[in-house]
Structure 1
């Protein structure tokens, strides 16, 4: 089948006295029958071009499925008088939300439940398979149970556009309450007393800009009360409650600036009633480039705010402020240490959980309120991912911790604070005789052109030899934006690559957060090219030291990592045998020039403002993949994956990019999921099939046939 060739329709984009011919911009018209026909033709072409991989795709899908314990239970989490947990059932796409009663008020040891036997007193709160019946897509964006355990809410998206409909149910009777909240953002939740639902909505550019209260029992949003509106288009809003439940927290934030107001939870009903005398506590005045988070602690009967901030502290420091003395000077609790990035402080009743990052590795510590000493929870692997997880109760004596590495499947522990003992609760089961000893992992440091050392994490199967002994196929992954860290974590699907001799490598390029705030700052705005050159330099490092050859490197990145893929394809096409770009941000300049789109005004602090600043326009035009496709280059094979209803990176970006690549002679394919979102298809079996589709293409491109 011949690759679809889109019509060229004259369109000129002009800014700052510069004009760019964009003949494929018409593909943005999502409702046009011609656009839908073109996308369907792209899918048909990809299906035909990759039809020979159907047996390999099915083989990989079965491998993934055989390794997973399809009928399983999560480790229960205590909240109130119940243990809450999830179930997965063989043959079912979606999970079940369940609970069982606790044995006693002092019972903090989660019960060891069996997926094969009935759980005494179990209640199935939500079966997502039932809710998703008849829908091609289903995603939960909210799930909340009242503190007294009597009611639950859930929010579902059935299109992939991240707009949710929230419903409420009486748990005892199973009856649906009249509440139906349509078109709201993710994260709706009950207030602590269960009387109201707290939620956000978005503006025309899909920016969360308003916070609302809905009285439980009302049938619609007609009487809901708006309690906050953020008019600044560069800021978005979020809301929740402090861990103590003592304060409603309303946060307004941009990529570089935060403002938070606290309102006593006991005043929420007055807020809903429109009482203008409800007082709020403004933690810090809004100050450009000052970010912070806040939590509440009660120590010896006195209220304190613990504030994590970056004012004159690039990698953040922790201070505290007494609530009963507005004139008190802030007390520094954890001083700023360059290179040690403080990421989160979570205040429980008797201690605080501190999460930070040092040497490219995430750390977890428990802080004593009286001494402010921190005891770090130690793990015995050189590379790993770890963090606090599932700790809903303010007064709990244990801390739930998740852990994993390239070779260790996802693991849950309870850390007993008093005894400083880490107790294993569960390690994800990998069926089929998996042994972590058969796999190796290590970190390399590659030299960038400017002398910066770029961390590179590797994992491989030992039976194929050590990396560097002889050139091996390499699956190279990168992201590099928003200070997001790609930590070494286990993947069941990745075993299908490792078991065929492929080495998996993560290039921790600048723009991510692995090495602290400076690492992020040196990969954004007018330092953005560092992300791209870092990835290229890592590829060259692996080639020059005999780990691999250019024909044996498959590169992968998604979303902002898809921008990375498009940029490196233009910078060094000769270094890669293939590139997988997932929901790729490859028409970045066109998007960031349009303030009506979701990835624009709020993103100017990440990429720059090319609409009003000619220097940023010129800088972005120099790297935006679509504008810079080279007619003189021999591109590697490219597969672009996208979703029609993605509201973060529109399908039109890879659609236009693939057309331009074909003009330059590239072997480029595009697959567009017609009912999906930014995260791809929904349902675990569908997701496994989608990943098998990608892995089969990678293996075929590497010349590995089975």
Structure 2
């Protein structure tokens, strides 16, 4: 083998651990390292690719070699990638604005301007007057390879703006505070924070959460008085259980500051009268395993959504002077085995619930005066998503909500909660000749081996014939109880317009069908997530929605774990798999408590210090289960500064795959060196990354179809 001097414009001394195989693909040097555990040792030949400092010349050389190899492979279809990039950007209405919402004396909105990557946050006085720019993120991002404003909040007196910024993509935020009367930044700056924040009622105190500098777990809540030295901030709460993460915020009425700590199976909330920032926080209810709840405050009482004796959740209430003991809670909406209560908004006259029924998110309105008086917002489509829009004022009479489907662009409606009058406020404009009538959405139910039926949302062009000739792009996630709803995505039209069927497999591990759907896809049931995905593929091929030789699977993060498991379990069923920022080194990561997210995810994946979980996790961990077989084509991505799934997981996975893969299909590995888990921060830059993925798989499909013909 020879050094990759033809691919890299870097000194030879930096590439001594990277070689090229006979096809010119990078090969990382094997350096056996023993990973110890209470249940035996494993040898990891590529552990050396982990560099927590992100400064190792050898590691950077390997990642750059992989990037160069991917770009060299892409050269044969570079024109297609350029065309796709233009196409994806061309569907955007670049000079776009959100629907303004009223909060206090101002109406607030977000807008984008033509040619600019980032949003501009603005407000206008309700009584009339000139627009005021709160934040122009384009200006803030100047000179930065990566920039994100993750959260912002206007003070109760409407004179100050606090926001959290990230310049690496590692989700370690810096607090900035802007004086809205002068436009100047205050000296109140703190680093190493989570993105959450809360205001006191006097607009003089901020509550923020500090992260542990090593594990990045949120551990401490501080109260900072504006204008005082940062090192004089007061510690108001510290979490000692590293299986919990934490956040702060205000209730919708802004009367309280809330500290929430949460793990996979339990949580706990503390509240403080916002007018008494120096006071003590009070517990809503103490933590208990397998007990979760969320709260909001309305007119002296707390409304609570909880799984207490209710796997699909129920709504309860308690007076503020009775908090601390859940035995004082009184039921408002009872448990329903067929309906999952996802969230709620408490208005002065109405209670509004966002719930799931048969896998679909719908909205229910309930009159406080007569809780038997209920109405559901209607839809004419078989597969859709309804959710809450911005509703900052409890006194408002109009509920704002969002509606979308695979064929309907994101829309914002408002409905008068008393009369039922409905108004469309905005529907996203999709350029490039988009016509909703040219597309069809469908929902099918796929039976799997253990008797359950998995819902699948489908999108295809009108006129599509089920003759078994179409390429398939099948997406899923299947973890953390996160549901993958059938949202409109303008980008997917670039595949559907080229004959693809797009499928979202609502597999177990999500919460589409209620809490049991999640429980059946985690811990010692995790295999169901993978077999559900494969069963959906088999069904769609068998029922002629797709050709068996042009099936593409895609997933990201925990969905990347899904892709890794599927690659090992059923490689012959997929032409290609796309794994974005994939969590693939399950056992080694979960053994290492110094890594972010490890300890607070034991109840998701299992604690490998327990042999039962160790053996089970090892049985599906994609990195550990790589074997000598013919793998499908793989397109794998990561971010060098990723704090959620460290870059070295996919790097090691690719290195091992290259040594055992017996197929001639390409394996491409792209590292975004200036970003983290979410990829590049600019809206156009992100679409360029999508174009690379689509170009890769369209080239694969074209080759497969040519071979078939």
Q: TM-score range by the shorter chain?
A: over 0.9
- CA–CA separation in structure 2 for the residues paired with 1:628 and 1:586: 10
1:279-325 CA distances to partner (integer Å, 9 max, x unpaired)? x4322221111001112222xxxx22221111211111111122345
For residues 32-82 of structure 1, give each alpha carbon's deviation from its aligned partner in whole angstroms, at most 9, with x where no partner exists: 110011111110111101111211111111111221111121110111111
Q: Quote the residue 1:62 is aligned against.
A: 86
| Whole-Å separation in 2 of the counterparts to 1:170 and 1:153 | 9
Shift, 1:480, TM fit: 0.1
| TM-score (normalised: structure 1) | 0.93
Aligned counterpart, 1:452:
452
Q: Deviation of residue 418 (structure 1)?
A: 2.2
Paired residues of 2:198 and 2:257 also in contact (CA < 8 A): no
Give unpaired runs (5+ residues) of structure 1: 105-119, 272-277
| 1:318 paired residue number | 315
Pairing 1:87-236 to 2, within 5 Å after superposition: 87-103=111-127, 121-203=130-212, 204-218=214-228, 220-236=229-245
Secondary structure in 1 matching 2:517: helix
Note if contact 1:143-1:189 (Cα within 8 Å) is conserved in structure 2: no
Match of 1:355, SS? strand
1:521-566 residue CA offsets vs partner (Å, 9 max, x unmatched): 0000000000000001111111122222332111000000000000
Q: Which residue does 1:18 correspond to in 2? A: 40
1 CA distance for matches of 2:97 and 2:255? 33
Q: Structure 1 residues 642, 663: closer, same or farther in 2, change over 3 A?
A: same
Match of 2:294 in 1: 293
Worse-matched range after superposition: 365-374 or 658-667:
365-374
Match of 1:499?
A: 497
Deviations 1:162-186 (A, max 9, x none): 1112211221221222211222111
Matched, 1:264 2:262: no
1:573 equivalent among 571, 577, 584: 571
**C-alpha displacement at 1:356, in angstroms?**
1.1
Secondary structure class of the residue paired with 1:505 = strand
Following the alignment from structure 2 to structure 1, what is the Cα–Cα distance between the partners of residues 188 and 328? Answer: 46
Separation of aligned partners in 2, 1:297 and 1:189? 18
Q: Aligned to 1:378, what secondary structure does the other structure show?
A: coil
TM-aligned CA deviation for residue 329 of structure 1 = 4.4
1:499, distance to aligned residue in structure 2 (A): 0.6
Provide structure 2 residue ranges, at least 5 long, that are not aligned to the other structure: 1-6, 8-23
In the alignment, which of 643, 648, 659 is matched to residue 644 of structure 2?
648
- Aligned 1:136-535 pairs, distance under 5 A: 136-203=145-212, 204-218=214-228, 220-268=229-277, 270-271=278-279, 278=280, 280-298=281-299, 303-324=300-321, 329-373=328-372, 374-463=374-463, 465-466=464-465, 468-535=466-533
Residue 177 of structure 1 aligns to a residue whose secondary structure is coil
Distance 1:9 1:692 in 2: 35
Residues 552-582 of structure 1 show CA distances to partners (whole Å, capped at 9, x for unaligned) of 1110000000000000010000110000000
Name the SS of the counterpart of 2:28 in structure 1.
Answer: coil
- Residue by residue over 1:368-427, the C-alpha shift from the partner in whole angstroms, topping out at 9 and shown as x without a partner, is 222224322222222111211111122222121111110000100112112122210000
Aligned counterpart, 2:585:
587
Match of 1:554 in 2: 552
Distance 1:332 1:578, change over 3 A: same
Paired residues in the alignment total 674
Distance 1:613 1:173, change over 3 A: same
Question: What secondary structure does 1:493 align onto?
Answer: helix
Give the match for residue 37 of structure 1: 61
Residue in 2 that maps onto 1:625:
622
CA distance in 1, matches of 2:102, 2:189: 28
Aligned equivalents of 1:414 and 1:129: distance in 2? 31
- Hey, what's the Cα distance between the residues in 2 that align with 1:536 and 1:91? 41
Distance in 1, Cα, partners of 2:331 & 2:547? 51
Distance across 2 between alignment mates of 1:608 and 1:188: 31
Shift of 1:210: 1.3
- Tell me if structure 1 keeps the 8 A contact 2:205–2:226: yes
- Tell me if structure 1 keeps the 8 A contact 2:25–2:69: yes
* CA distance in structure 1 between the aligned counterparts of 2:134 and 2:647, rounded to whole angstroms: 36
Q: Assess if the C-alpha contact under 8 Å between 2:199 and 2:257 holds in 1.
A: no
Whether the 8 Å CA contact 1:243–1:346 is kept in 2: the answer is no
* Aligned counterparts of 1:329 and 1:41: Cα–Cα separation in 2: 62
- How far apart are 1:488 and its partner, in Å? 0.6
Tell me the TM-score normalized by structure 2: 0.93
In the alignment, is the contact (CA less than 8 A) between 1:658 and 1:670 conserved in 2? yes
Distance in 2 separating the partners of 1:450 and 1:549: 26
Corresponding position of 1:607:
605
Deviations 1:336-382 (A, max 9, x none): 11121111122233322211111000011222222224322222222
Shift of 1:432: 2.6
For 1:198 and 1:308, locate their aligned partners in 2 and report how far apart those are by CA, in whole Å: 24
**Distance in 2, Cα, partners of 1:615 & 1:325:** 42
Which residue in 1 is equivalent to 2:103? 79
TM superposition shift of 1:626: 0.5
